Amino acid sequence: MINESGNLSVNTEDIFPIIKKWLYSDKDIFLREMVSNACDAIAKFKRLVSLGEADADPDEQYKIRVVLDKKNKTIKIMDNGIGMTADEVKRYINQVAFSGAKEFLEKYKDQNEASQIIGHFGLGFYSAFMVSDKVEIDTLSWQEGAEPVKWISDGGTTYEMTSSEQDTRGTVVTLHIAEDSKEFLDKHELRRILEKYCAFLPVEIYLEDAEDKKKDKEEAKPVNDTNPLWLKSPSECTEEEYREFYRKVFMDFQDPLFWIHLNVDYPFNLKGILYFPKLRNEFETMEGQIKLYNNQVFVADNIKEVIPEWLLLLKGVIDCPDLPLNVSRSFLQNDGSVRKISDHISKKVADKLNSMYKTERENYEKYWDDINPFIKFGCMKDDKFYKRVKDILIFKSTSGDYTLLKDYLDRNRDKHKNQVYYISDEKQQAQYIRIFKENDLEALYLDSIIDSHFINFLEMKESDTKFLSVDSDISEGLKDKDGAGKDDKKLEKTLENLFKECLNRKDLKIQVEALKTPDIPAVILQSEQSKRLQEMTRYFGSPTVNNFPSEQTLVLNRKNGLISRLAILKDNKERKQDVDLICKHVYDLAMMNHKPLEPEEMAEFVKRSNKLLSRLTELKS
C-alpha cells in the first residue's frame, strides 16, 4: 500500500510568475507536452515488446485519448504505454520534472523577455501547471506485479502519493483547469491545438467529450495522421499525394509548382518536403511558411536558425529529431550540427534546381517567373548556394527566349562589351524597348522587386560586368554611325539654346544626337546611379524618394523632322508662340515615356495639347 507525501525542492512562488511571463504567448503548449509524453510512453513499451522483454496482445491498439469533462473542469490525457512504478514516479516527476523547472528559473530569471525563447521540450510535464491548479497522475507499470500509483500536486511545494485504482497498463494525467484557463475547456479549442502540434504524431490521438460519449464513439476518428507523407520514400509518393498534402497542411488550394522531398539518414536524420508555391503577386514572396517538427511533433514555424533564411519564403515541412530543442535559440545559432543541417537543406534545393535545368529545361523556364525571387534571394543570402546555382541563373531577353548571362555577353560582345542592358518596367520603358529592337540591340528583363538589389550583387560578383538600364545613359548604342558635320554642329548648338530658353530648366542637360531611328523626336535618359538610388529608396518605402536630385538628360534627335523644323522656325517671330509650345510638348512626351507626369504637369500637358490643336485649325493650308 502506497502512502507518501513530501516537499518538492523548488520555490513555486518564484517559478509561477516566470512561467506565466515566458510561456503566456504559447500557453497551449501544455497539451503538446502532455500528448508527447504519452506518445513517448507508448513508443518505449513497443520497443520493449519488439526486444522480447515485455508481452502484449498482438491485436492491441495503441492510442492516446484526450478526454474533456467540461462539467468537472478537467482534461484527461490517457495512454496505454509503459506506465510507471512508484519509484519511477519519484524519479521522473518529483526529481526530473521539477528540477528541470528549477534549472529553468535559475537560468532565465534575470534575463529580459526580448532575448529569450522557451526551450520547447525543457519543461515537459511541468507545463501542465500553466493551465491547472491541480494535477493528478494515475499510472500502472508494465512490469509484472507492479502496484498502481496516484500522484497529486496542486502546484505548490508539496505532493502526495497513494495507491491508485488504475487497472490497465499506462498512464492517465488529469488536469484540473484553473479559472484563468477556462478557454481550454472547449472541444473545438482542444482540437485546434491537437491539429496544430500533434497532427502527425505516430500514435493515434482521439479527442473525446465526457458528456457525449455516445456521439464520440459513433464518430471516433483520430485527429492525426500517423504516417505523414515526408516519412515515406519519394518513390512511394504520387504527384496527387504531394499536392493533397500541400493543400491540407497549408490550406492553399492553388497547386504548388514543384517540390523537393528531403530524405537524409547520415550524418544526421532529416526528412521533409519543400514546396515552391505559385505566386499570385510579387509581394507574396515574403509570406512563406516552413513548419519544423521534432519526431513528428510540431515545434514552430520559420525557425531561421535551422532553415536557411531565404528558404523561409517557401512552404514546407522539416522533421529533424537531431535538433537540440531544449536549449535557447542563441545556442542554436552557434551549434555546429544545426549549421550543417541548414547547409544541407540549401544544397538539396540547389541540386534539385540543377537537375531541373539539365533534364526539364522547358519546365524550369516555365517556372522561372515564380521561382526567380526565391533563387535570387538565396544567392544574396548564401554564398555557397550562389556558387551552386550561378551557372543556371537565366534571364528573359527581348529576343523572346531565356538566356544565361554568359551567353548574353558572348552574343553582344561586339556591340557593347561586358555591358548588360536591362528592363525594370516593361510598360513604362516600352519606347526604349522598341528602340532597342529596331536597332538590333538586346536587353534582359530584371523587373521584380528584388532585382534592384540583385543587379548590385551580380556586379559585385562579376566585377568586369556593368548593368545599364535601357533608359539610362545609352545614347552611344542608339547613335547613328555617321558622324556630325559642320552644319550639324551648328544645328545642335541652335537646338540646345532653343530648348534651354523655352523650358527654362537650368538643371536639365540637353544633348543633340543623330539617333538611328528618325521617328522619335526626343528621349529622356537618366544616369544609372541616380536611377538605382531612386529604385532602392522606393523599394524601402521611403517618403523622400522624390527628394533626390534626378540626373536626367533630354536627348534631341536631329534626324527627326519636327526637331529640324523647330531650328528653322525659331527666328520666325510670328511662330514664336508655336515653337515654345512644341518644345515644351516634346519634353513632356519624352518625359511621359520615362515616367508618369505629376498631376500639375499632366494638367498643363492637356491644356497645351488643346491649345496646339486649336492653333493647327488656324493655320492656312
The CATH number that applies at residue 501 is 1.20.120.790
Domain boundary at 319, 344, 373, which? 373
Q: Are residues 208 and 238 in the same domain?
A: no
306 in any annotated domain: yes
Q: Dig out the grid coordinates for 15 from the structure.
A: 517559478
Q: Are residues 314 and 364 in the same domain?
A: yes
179 in any annotated domain: yes
User: Residues 81-98, buried b or exposed e (16+ Cβ, 10 A)?
Assistant: bbbbbbebbbeebbeebb
Q: Are residues 287 and 404 in the same domain?
A: no
Helices assigned H by DSSP within 256-335: 329-334
DSSP secondary structure string, 227-273?
S-GGGS-GGG--HHHHHHHHHHHH---SPPSEEEEEEE-SSS-EEEE
Q: What pLDDT, on a 0 to 100 scale, did the predictor assign at position 316?
A: 93
Of 453, 464, 454, residue with least CA distance to 419 = 464
Q: Could you give the CA distance from residue 61 to residue 55 in angstroms, rounded to a whole number? A: 14
Specify the residue for cell string 523537393.
260
| Helices 599-618/576-592 angle, 10° precision | 140
Q: Dig out the grid coordinates for 88 from the structure.
A: 519511477
Q: Are residues 43 and 178 in the same domain?
A: yes
Q: Dig out the grid coordinates for 391 from the structure.
A: 551557372
User: Residues 38-48, buried b or exposed e (16+ Cβ, 10 A)?
Assistant: bbbbbeebbee
Q: Are residues 496 and 591 in the same domain?
A: yes
CB 524 within 8 A of CB 593: yes
Q: What pLDDT, on a 0 to 100 scale, did the predictor assign at position 116?
A: 33
Q: How far is CA 28 from its chain centroid? A: 25
494 in any annotated domain: yes
Specify the residue for cell string 504567448.
25
51 in any annotated domain: yes
Domain boundary at 434, 464, 494, which? 464
Q: Could you give the CA distance from residue 82 to residue 48 in angstroms, rounded to a whole number? A: 9
- Range scoring the smallest mean pLDDT among 102-106, 251-255, 357-361: 102-106
379 in any annotated domain: no
Q: Could you give the CA distance from residue 548 to residue 383 in angstroms, rounded to a whole number? A: 33
Q: What pLDDT, on a 0 to 100 scale, did the predictor assign at position 486?
A: 58
Q: What pLDDT, on a 0 to 100 scale, did the predictor assign at position 265?
A: 83
List the 258-264 sheet strands across, edge first: 258-264, 270-276, 315-319, 289-294, 297-301
Supply the CATH number for residue 260's domain.
3.30.230.80
Q: Dig out the grid coordinates for 65 from the structure.
A: 485519448
What would the 3-class secondary structure string for 152-184 be?
EECCCCEEEEEECCCCCCEEEEEEEECHHHHHH
CB 530 within 8 A of CB 594: no
Q: Are residues 354 and 438 in the same domain?
A: no
Residue of higher predicted confidence among 91 and 534: 91
Does the pLDDT value for residue 609 go beyond 50?
Answer: yes
Q: Are residues 80 and 206 in the same domain?
A: yes
Query: For residue 392, how many other CB atoms are within 10 A of its CB?
Result: 17
Q: How far is CA 532 from its chain centroid? A: 25
For the chain, the C-alpha Rg in angstroms (whole number) is 36
Q: Dig out the grid coordinates for 210 from the structure.
A: 465526457
Predicted confidence band at 138 (pLDDT cuts at 50, 70, 90)? very high
Q: Positive or negative, the Cα torsion across 538, 543, 546, 551? A: negative
CB 79 within 8 A of CB 42: yes
Task: Kindly report, residue by residue over 456-515, the tens digit of the pLDDT.
Answer: 999 999 888 999 888 775 555 555 555 555 566 788 888 888 888 888 877 788 888 887
Q: Could you give the CA distance from residue 229 to residue 243 in angstroms, rounded to a whole number? A: 11
Q: What pLDDT, on a 0 to 100 scale, did the predictor assign at position 331?
A: 42
Q: Could you give the CA distance from residue 482 to residue 485 in angstroms, rounded to a whole number? A: 9
Q: Could you give the CA distance from residue 255 to residue 257 in angstroms, rounded to a whole number? A: 7
Q: What is the 8-class DSSP label of residue 511?
A: E
Q: Could you give the CA distance from residue 318 to residue 291 in angstroms, rounded to a whole number? A: 6
Q: Are residues 454 and 536 in the same domain?
A: no
CB 273 within 8 A of CB 230: yes
Q: Are residues 259 and 406 in the same domain?
A: no
Task: Kindly report, residue by residue over 124-135, the tens digit of the pLDDT.
Answer: 787 888 899 999
Residue 493 belongs to what domain range?
477-618
User: Residues 115-129, buried b or exposed e (16+ Cβ, 10 A)?
Assistant: eeebbbbbbbbbbbb
219 phi, psi to nearest 5 deg = -105, 20
Supply the CATH number for residue 436's domain.
3.40.50.11260
Q: Are residues 537 and 593 in the same domain?
A: yes
Does the pLDDT value for residue 158 go beyond 90?
Answer: no
Find the mean pLDDT for residues 339-356: 89
Q: Which residues contact 181 (CB under 8 A, 6 or more apart)?
A: 27, 130, 131, 132
Q: What pLDDT, on a 0 to 100 scale, did the predictor assign at position 136?
A: 96
93 in any annotated domain: yes
Q: Positive or negative, the Cα torsion across 122, 128, 133, 135? A: negative
Task: Kindly report, residue by residue over 336-347, the tens digit of the pLDDT.
Answer: 677 788 888 899
408 in any annotated domain: yes
Specify the residue for cell string 497539451.
31
* Side-chain-side CA neighbours of residue 410 (13 Å): 5
Predicted confidence band at 313 (pLDDT cuts at 50, 70, 90)? confident
Q: Are residues 572 and 518 in the same domain?
A: yes
163 in any annotated domain: yes
**Through-space distance between the first and last CA atoms of the chain, rounded to whole angstroms:** 122
Whole-number Cα distances in Å, 613 to 563, 576, 578, 588, 606: 18, 16, 11, 16, 11
Percent of the chain scoring above 90 in pLDDT: 38
CB 117 within 8 A of CB 329: yes
Predicted confidence band at 78 (pLDDT cuts at 50, 70, 90)? very high
Q: Could you give the CA distance from residue 109 to residue 13 in angstroms, rounded to a whole number? A: 13
Count of domains for the chain: 4
Q: Could you tell me how many residues make up the chain?
A: 621
Find the mean pLDDT for residues 46-52: 90
Q: Are residues 499 and 582 in the same domain?
A: yes
Strand, coil or helix: what is 543? coil
Longest dimension (CA), the chain: 122
Domain boundary at 438, 464, 490, which? 464
Does the pLDDT value for residue 194 go beyond 60?
Answer: yes
* Side-chain-side CA neighbours of residue 369 (13 Å): 11
Does the pLDDT value for residue 18 go beyond 80?
Answer: no
